[in-house]
Amino acid sequence: MTNPRRERFARIFPARVDMLRDTLRKISNCSNRTNYEWNNDLVQNAWILIAEEFTDTAAQYGVDFRVEVSMLDSKG
């Protein structure tokens, strides 16, 4: 017997993960210092918000997901 809820999840979940990965690649494009200049506080606060969403969402699946956000010095 098929499980329509499991099938729906198997169809939707990978597509949403792909969409999220694509969005993160687009955000990564903004790190090109040749084209952009940014405020470190703004960037760090944005990544804190993103990390909170990741940890909250992972917890809904029973996954313990921990993230540390800190700014690297300008030398990398």
42-71 pLDDT per residue, tens: 999 999 999 999 999 999 999 998 888 887
22-34 pLDDT per residue, tens: 999 999 999 999 9
CB 69 within 8 A of CB 44: yes
Model's pTM, two decimal places? 0.79
Buried b (16+ CB within 10 A) or exposed e, 35-55: eeeeeeeeeeeeeeeeeeeee
Q: Which residues, 6 or more positions from 55, have their beta carbon under 8 angstroms from its beta carbon?
A: 65, 66, 67
Q: Is 49 helix (H, G, I), strand (E, B) or coil?
A: helix
